[in-house]
Amino acid sequence: MSKLNHTELIKQEATRLGFSFCGISKADFLEDEAPRLESWLSNSMHGEMKYMENHFDKRLDPRLLVDDAKSVISLMLNYYTVEKQKDSEAPKISTYAYGQDYHHVIKGKLKELIFFIQDNIGEVNGRGFVDSAPVLDKAWAKQSGLGWIGKNANLITKSNGSFFFIAELIVDLELELDNPMTKDFCGTCTKCIEACPTDAIVDNHIVDGSKCISYYTIELKESLPNDMKGKFDNWMFGCDTCQDVCPWNRFSLQHQEPLFNPHPDLLEMKKQDWEEITTDIFQKVFQKSAIKRTKFSGLTRNVDFLKD
């Protein structure tokens, strides 16, 4: 089989597994990203996320992650939903955390994909990555032609906006490459910059992670800073503001992944339910959710911080 046949076979299987987009780029050094990452870190925009300082070279070169790597297969999985929390006064949860933890869902799909490649193409070595390893997901998705990186630093597609998880399969197999996305379709729009509750979007395409509500409510383990009081726009886990106002997300479509459907009780919970949440309810509702990452103590800290 030819490179083209291999590529078509992989993309067909990715679609069958439920991935919305699949693009291929050459496993090479991300030269343009090196100074950006270095500047972002040197300006302490990663806050207390000290792990971002580790494996600098690996973040830029996939050949240091997979021996003899030839191709980066970038994959995107839609998580957008029209469903919302019923109580408009209830503390808000980012849409991506409504269903089961995407790390587990996508890792299962990546394993299926690599097994498929090995069964149908031959002895191929590869590793799957989902947001929990030193891989610059958005840079590779852009390099694979799947979209552009917007002013809010999210990967945006012209066809369906930005409510997507991004994953990679790095393999030692040569494949047909897709053309990188070279255009930026944000134009003069500044809606995300203007809407950000904490002014975390400090420049076009640059987000100061240490000012982002998602950072405060998920990554920061210590007490929330008093000068942020009243600025969270009622977000208790993550934040979707910059995506909600993005004009490209008017093209978002309801996801088709049952595992991303919310727990039956989640959307029904009222403001008082969140303020009086117990460990038993937390375990019941978020047993398989990404929200477990912040733990019960972190979630109640966030809810308390939102109180008047």
Active site amino acids: 131
Locus of tokens 């610059």: 136
At what angle are helices 3-16 and 102-120 packed, to 10 degrees? 140
Structural contact between residues 156 and 246, judged by C-beta atoms closer than 8 angstroms? yes
| DSSP sequence for 248-265 | GGGG------GGGSPPTT
Residue 154 token pair: 């999210």
Locus of tokens 């420049």: 203
The neighbouring-strand residues paired with 166 are: 76
Residue 298 token pair: 């972190």
Report which secondary-structure segment, H or E, holds 117. Answer: helix 102-120
Structural contact between residues 7 and 24, judged by C-beta atoms closer than 8 angstroms? yes
